[in-house]
């Protein structure tokens, strides 16, 4: 079966820290339009629209069940013997963990729902006698700082082996009988998962997590990967060194994922799977023997505009990747699972009877015990009551983590600074475009100059010819024709001169404009203002001032962008100048307000 990666975009509702933000996404069932809105009609009418189409869009009011419904067909395929993969991708705090792993009874995520669904479906197949035996097991690993570890047994050393598909050596796998088994394992694994508080998310996942189900039935063997990717985040000087290091690793592996998706979508010969642990492990889910669904989680808030745009561009590319999934059937003459396990037990018992050293015997005993547990479908870890108590205390501690005060000035400043930095990058890009446009004008100017000289020479030759006619021959039809041509050429010459003047004026204005824009690298000024505010540690009206500042600086950046776009698209220098003047005045006003 050859199938493109399916893409579902989930737009979550605004969260507390975004309550003053504008919504920058308009949604339909399969398409959406992004527009950077400031709330000011004058500026907003010039904002660019970015349109996207996907297989499905989950709106902010979509429930966890609605989202699971979109994943159901993939889980059915897994039950019928196809490898399947569901991956959540997005900026930090965009809702990936909520979508995949939420264990809140009222809002269960895809992993617990999938467990329940798989167990129910398998039981029903057994009851209908369509299936006589099966074994379902679960594993849970994380990639933190490019290191792979087992969340269910963190002391275990893991290794990736790539034969025809990637496999993890030494990874623990637990047999699953019910939904509760998986919930217990997830809760146990979540405690070993690397999380920390970021500027955007008070409990942010700093690792990529891959939970997998392995199903073996009478005649098929299949795997289901449920992946919660760590969220990308912009590096900032305010990050502590460990946080900075984590963020670097996350961004590098996500950028390799981007490169892999790019190479696959462009049908390149070399796919850089080996450049990161994440892509090595997902190599089969991306372009291989898997059916895959990508859930791209995004926030509708204008403060995440650029990051959301990037996530959607990534998702749009992923849609073009084609997987080649085949049903994994096993030969009927191979011994069934129970028989295989029984044979292994007798083999190990045989070895035991042959009197090995004490150490070997205890290892073998342990192996026999594990296998018996597996055979009895009792393979699920039994936590001792003390272990359970410790786990509960840890859970309660995590639940009671003090919620981050997002009004805390430092955090707010960081947010504003980060936005300003990306706006500045955007501006610089536009200045470069403007420079290119000016260069084009210069080339055009030179061309018209050359044409003008050629026409002047032609005119001289014609005038000379006329003088000769006047002196030598009677004035005839030919001479009248020549003088008409001269009139036309003179007209053209005048036209070219006018055009040259206009071009000169445009170039001068353009140069002035670039100079102004460069001076307006005045985000420097804005940063200075921020720094001053931080130093003064303003209280009381601080929040109001910061909000006002954020709105106004945002609007300013828009004015500048609009100006450039007008210059580029409509070639309307005058109109653009008015905006620029307006922007400069507004900038002065903002500065006055904060000085
Ligand atoms: N669809 C939703 N409805 C309601 N709340 C949501 C939704 N999606 C996410 N949230 C809330 O948004 C916050 C961030 O979500 P979550 O932790 O899942 O983000 P994340 O993308 O996993 O972030 P990170 O990459 O930092 O781990 C949480 O408080 C979560 O409860």
At 447-466, the pLDDT tens digits run 766 776 777 676 666 666 66
CA of 323 to the centre of ligand 1 (A): 29
CA-to-CA distance for 373 and 174, rounded, in angstroms? 10
Q: For 580, how many CA atoms within 13 A lie in the half-sphere containing its CB?
A: 22
Q: For 523, how many CA atoms within 13 A lie in the half-sphere containing its CB?
A: 22
For the ranges 50-59, 406-415, 491-500, the one whose mean pLDDT is highest: 50-59
Each residue of 362-395: pLDDT tens digit? Answer: 665 566 566 555 544 433 334 344 545 555 565 5
Q: Which residues contact 356 (CB under 8 A, 6 or more apart)?
A: 364
Segment 125-149 shows an average pLDDT of: 90
Residue 307 has pLDDT above 50, yes or no: yes
Q: Which residue would you say has higher pLDDT here, 67 or 487?
A: 67
Looking at the chain, the whole-number percentage of residues with pLDDT higher than 90 is 29
Q: Please report which confidence band the pLDDT of residue 132 belongs to, taking 50, 70 and 90 as the band edges.
A: confident
Q: Please report which confidence band the pLDDT of residue 537 belongs to, taking 50, 70 and 90 as the band edges.
A: very low
CA-to-CA distance for 476 and 293, rounded, in angstroms? 84
Q: Pick the atom of ligand 1 nearest to 62's CA.
A: 1
Looking at ligand 1, which residue's alpha carbon is closest to its atom 16?
Answer: 95
Specify the pLDDT at position 29: 83
What string of DSSP letters covers 52-97?
Answer: EE-SEEE-TT--HHHHHHHHHHHHHHHHTT--EEEEEEEBTTSSHH
Specify the pLDDT at position 402: 41
CA of 102 to the centre of ligand 1 (A): 9
Specify the pLDDT at position 508: 76
Q: Pick the atom of ligand 1 nearest to 98's CA.
A: 18
Q: Which residue would you say has higher pLDDT here, 201 or 557?
A: 557
Each residue of 69-122: pLDDT tens digit? Answer: 999 999 999 999 999 999 999 998 899 999 999 988 899 999 999 999 999 999
Q: For 116, how many CA atoms within 13 A lie in the half-sphere containing its CB?
A: 12
Residue from 409, 422, 431, 416 nearest 553 by CA: 416
CA-to-CA distance for 579 and 587, rounded, in angstroms? 12
Residue 555 has pLDDT above 80, yes or no: no
CA-to-CA distance for 324 and 289, rounded, in angstroms? 5
Q: What share of the chain is helix, strand, coil (3-state, %, to 5)?
A: 55, 15, 25
CA-to-CA distance for 226 and 495, rounded, in angstroms? 68
CA of 97 to the centre of ligand 1 (A): 6
CA-to-CA distance for 442 and 85, rounded, in angstroms? 54
- Inter-CA distances, 237 with 240, 245, 246, 579, Å: 8, 12, 14, 34
Specify the pLDDT at position 392: 57
Q: Please report which confidence band the pLDDT of residue 332 belongs to, taking 50, 70 and 90 as the band edges.
A: low
Residue 583 has pLDDT above 80, yes or no: no
Residue 404 has pLDDT above 80, yes or no: no
Q: Please report which confidence band the pLDDT of residue 9 belongs to, taking 50, 70 and 90 as the band edges.
A: very high
Each residue of 419-458: pLDDT tens digit? Answer: 555 666 666 666 666 667 666 767 766 776 677 677 767 6
CB 100 within 8 A of CB 107: no
What are the tokens at 369? Answer: 């015990």
CA of 533 to the centre of ligand 1 (A): 31
What are the tokens at 483? Answer: 């003088």
Secondary structure class of 294 (helix, strand, coil): strand
Cα 546 → chain centroid: 28
Secondary structure class of 572 (helix, strand, coil): coil
CA of 209 to the centre of ligand 1 (A): 15
Specify the pLDDT at position 536: 44
DSSP secondary structure code for residue 23 in this structure: B
CA-to-CA distance for 38 and 302, rounded, in angstroms? 8
CA-to-CA distance for 298 and 92, rounded, in angstroms? 9
CA-to-CA distance for 529 and 553, rounded, in angstroms? 11
Specify the pLDDT at position 232: 75
What are the tokens at 544? Answer: 């109001």
Specify the pLDDT at position 136: 92
Specify the pLDDT at position 162: 80
Secondary structure class of 108 (helix, strand, coil): coil
CA-to-CA distance for 580 and 572, rounded, in angstroms? 12
Specify the pLDDT at position 229: 93
Residues facing 51 on adjacent strands: 33
Tell how many helices (H) and how many strands (E) occur in the chain: 16, 18
Residue 345 has pLDDT above 50, yes or no: yes
Residue 479 has pLDDT above 80, yes or no: no
CA of 472 to the centre of ligand 1 (A): 95
Binding-site positions for ATP:
90-97
Q: Find the angle CA(576)-CA(580)-CA(583) to the nearest 5 degrees.
A: 140
Looking at ligand 1, which residue's alpha carbon is closest to its atom 2?
Answer: 12
Residues facing 224 on adjacent strands: 84, 213
Q: For 402, how many CA atoms within 13 A lie in the half-sphere containing its CB?
A: 3
Residues facing 291 on adjacent strands: 84
Site to probe by mutation for ligand 1, drawn from 19, 97, 194 as the one with most ligand atoms within 8 Å of Cβ, is: 97
Specify the pLDDT at position 237: 46
Binding-site positions:
90-97
**Lowest-pLDDT choice from 99-103, 492-496, 508-512, 536-540:** 536-540
CB 187 within 8 A of CB 391: yes
Q: Please report which confidence band the pLDDT of residue 354 belongs to, taking 50, 70 and 90 as the band edges.
A: low
Secondary structure class of 200 (helix, strand, coil): coil
- Inter-CA distances, 351 with 205, 365, 371, Å: 45, 10, 15
Q: Which residues contact 208 (CB under 8 A, 6 or more apart)?
A: 142, 143, 227, 228, 229, 230, 250, 253, 278
CA-to-CA distance for 344 and 503, rounded, in angstroms? 87
DSSP secondary structure code for residue 403 in this structure: P
DSSP secondary structure code for residue 516 in this structure: H
Specify the pLDDT at position 347: 65
Each residue of 172-228: pLDDT tens digit? Answer: 898 888 888 888 888 888 887 765 555 555 556 778 999 999 999 888 999 999 999
Specify the pLDDT at position 370: 63
CA-to-CA distance for 315 and 90, rounded, in angstroms? 10
Multiple choice CATH, 2-331+395-399, 3.40.850.10, 1.10.40.60, 3.30.365.10, 3.40.50.1980 = 3.40.850.10
C-alpha distance across the termini of the chain, in Å: 65
> What is the CB < 6 Å shell around ligand 1?
12-13, 15, 90, 92-98, 198, 201, 204-205, 230-231, 297
CA-to-CA distance for 261 and 74, rounded, in angstroms? 20
CB 369 within 8 A of CB 348: no
Average pLDDT value over all residues in the chain: 74
Q: Which residues contact 67 (CB under 8 A, 6 or more apart)?
A: 8, 10, 58, 99, 110, 295
CA-to-CA distance for 367 and 349, rounded, in angstroms? 10
Specify the pLDDT at position 471: 46
Q: Is the ipTM of this complex over 0.90?
A: yes
Specify the pLDDT at position 429: 66
Q: Pick the atom of ligand 1 nearest to 94's CA.
A: 21
CA-to-CA distance for 287 and 289, rounded, in angstroms? 7
Specify the pLDDT at position 314: 94
């Amino acid at each position: 079966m050859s199938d493109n990666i399916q893409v579902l975009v989930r737009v979550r509702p605004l969260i507390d820290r975004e309550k003053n933000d504008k919504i920058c996404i308009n949604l339909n069932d399969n398409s959406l339009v992004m527009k950077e809105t400031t709330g000011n009609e004058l500026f907003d009418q010039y904002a660019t629209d970015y349109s996207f189409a996907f297989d499905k869009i989950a709106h902010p009011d979509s429930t966890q069940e609605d989202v699971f419904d979109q994943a159901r067909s993939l889980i059915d395929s897994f039950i019928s013997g196809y490898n399947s993969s569901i991956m959540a991708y997005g900026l930090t705090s965009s809702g990936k963990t909520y979508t995949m792993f939420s264990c809140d009874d009222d809002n269960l995520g895809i992993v617990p729902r999938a467990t329940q669904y798989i167990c129910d479906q398998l039981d029903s197949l057994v009851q209908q006698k369509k299936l006589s035996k099966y074994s379902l097991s679960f594993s849970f690993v994380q990639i933190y700082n490019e290191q792979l570890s087992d969340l269910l047994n963190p002391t275990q050393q893991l290794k990736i082996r790539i034969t025809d598909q990637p496999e993890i050596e030494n990874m623990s796998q637990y047999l699953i009988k019910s939904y509760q088994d998986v919930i217990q394992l997830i809760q146990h694994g979540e405690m070993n998962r690397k999380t920390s508080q970021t500027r955007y998310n008070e409990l942010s996942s700093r690792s990529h997590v891959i939970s997998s189900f392995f199903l073996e039935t009478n005649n098929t063997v299949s795997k289901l990967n449920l992946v919660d990717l760590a969220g990308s985040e912009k590096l900032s000087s305010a990050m502590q060194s460990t946080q900075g290091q984590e963020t670097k690793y996350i961004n590098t592996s996500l950028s390799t994922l981007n490169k892999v998706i790019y190479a696959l979508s462009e049908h390149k010969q070399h796919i850089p799977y080996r450049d990161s642990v994440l892509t090595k492990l997902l190599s089969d889910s991306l372009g291989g023997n898997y059916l895959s669904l990508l859930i791209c989680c995004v926030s509708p808030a204008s403060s995440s505009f650029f990051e959301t745009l990037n996530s959607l561009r990534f998702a749009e590319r992923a849609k073009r990747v084609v997987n080649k999934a085949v049903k994994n059937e096993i030969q009927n003459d191979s011994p069934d699972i129970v028989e295989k396990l029984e044979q292994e037990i007798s083999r190990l018992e045989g070895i035991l009877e042959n009197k090995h050293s004490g150490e070997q015997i205890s290892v073998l005993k342990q192996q026999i015990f594990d296998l018996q547990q597996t055979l009895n479908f009792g393979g699920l870890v039994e936590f001792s009551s003390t272990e359970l108590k410790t786990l509960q205390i840890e859970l309660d501690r995590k639940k009671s983590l003090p919620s981050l005060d997002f009004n805390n000035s430092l955090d707010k400043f960081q947010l504003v600074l980060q936005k300003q930095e990306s706006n500045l990058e955007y501006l610089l890009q536009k200045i470069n475009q403007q420079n290119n446009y000016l260069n084009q004008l210069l080339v055009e100017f030179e061309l018209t100059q050359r044409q003008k000289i050629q026409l002047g020479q032609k005119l001289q030759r014609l005038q000379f010819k006329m003088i000769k006619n006047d002196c030598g021959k009677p004035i005839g039809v030919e001479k009248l024709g020549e003088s008409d041509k001269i009139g036309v050429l003179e007209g053209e010459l005048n036209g070219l001169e006018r055009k040259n003047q206009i071009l000169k004026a445009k170039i001068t204005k353009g140069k002035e404009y670039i100079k102004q824009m460069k001076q307006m690298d005045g985000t420097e000024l804005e940063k200075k203002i921020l720094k001053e505010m931080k130093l003064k540690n303003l209280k009381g009206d601080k929040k109001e001032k910061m909000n006002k500042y954020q709105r106004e600086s945002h609007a300013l950046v828009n004015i500048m962008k609009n100006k450039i776009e007008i210059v580029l698209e409509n070639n309307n220098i005058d109109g653009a100048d008015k905006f620029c003047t307006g922007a400069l005045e507004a900038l002065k006003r903002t500065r006055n307000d904060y000085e």
